[in-house]
């Protein structure tokens, strides 16, 4: 998304220069279509072409021979400290997971940014604020249930899920939510994070 936004800004600047300076009028033929294409791609990425829930390719960097991948339900975990949405709470939990040997990825509902900062926050912004690669953070498309994305990607990666949600509405489609240890529950306070004691990476055979 940042690349598309940068291209749109460059083409807009070129178009403005071409309109102001007569000696640069030929640039209109380049800048005009380029700006239009960038705007269309940005629009499609937000509204028309959301990633399919069964597409876990962007999470390939999470794969590890020790099978230490966990997916964090960001919109749930960010409320673990006194039910107040905070990225700091999520940072505590991510640090605890890393200390236990996990390689975490985070999935958010589309409205997570509004709860945190009263505005939409994209993958790259939340990844930067959490200190994670952008490939390991996903904000699901607007109007799409995050639970389905989370559980589908967890199934494809054979990963467990960090959350206090029980996913009752999805139990028939994803019976693994009832398997012991699949859902890692916990809580957080300043200086202290607690997780299910079974929350340890699986060992290599």
The per-residue pLDDT for range 32-75, each reduced to its tens digit, is 776 677 676 665 554 444 444 444 555 655 555 446 889 999 99
Q: Is 42 exposed, middle or buried (CB count within 10 Å of its CB: 0-12, 13-18, 19+)?
A: middle
- Alpha-carbon distance of 199 to 111, in angstroms, equals 28
Residue 157: pLDDT band with limits 50, 70, 90: confident
Of 10 and 87, more confident: 87
Q: What are phi and psi of 176, to 5 degrees?
A: -65, -15
Give the pLDDT confidence score for residue 36 in this predicted structure: 73
Residue 85 has pLDDT above 60, yes or no: yes
Positive or negative CA dihedral for 31, 34, 40, 41? Answer: negative
DSSP state of 83: T
pTM (predicted TM-score): 0.69
């Amino acid at each position: 998304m940042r690349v598309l936004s940068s291209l749109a800004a460059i083409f807009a600047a070129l178009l403005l220069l071409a309109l102001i300076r007569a000696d640069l009028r030929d640039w209109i033929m380049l800048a005009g279509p380029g700006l239009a294409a960038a705007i269309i791609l940005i629009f499609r990425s937000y509204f028309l072409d959301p990633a399919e829930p069964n597409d876990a390719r962007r999470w390939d960097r999470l794969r590890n021979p020790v099978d230490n991948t966990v997916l964090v339900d960001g919109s749930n975990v960010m409320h673990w400290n006194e039910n107040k949405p905070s990225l700091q709470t999520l940072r505590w939990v991510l640090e605890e997971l890393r200390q236990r040997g996990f390689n975490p990825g985070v999935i958010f509902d589309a409205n997570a940014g509004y709860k945190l900062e009263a505005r939409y926050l994209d993958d790259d912004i939340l990844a930067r604020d959490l200190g994670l690669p952008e490939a390991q953070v996903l904000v699901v498309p607007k109007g799409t249930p995050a639970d389905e994305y989370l559980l589908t990607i967890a199934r494809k990666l054979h990963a467990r899920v960090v959350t206090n949600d029980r996913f009752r509405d999805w139990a028939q489609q994803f019976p693994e939510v009832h398997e012991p240890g699949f859902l890692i529950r916990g809580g957080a306070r300043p200086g202290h994070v607690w997780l299910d004691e079974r929350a340890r990476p699986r060992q290599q055979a």
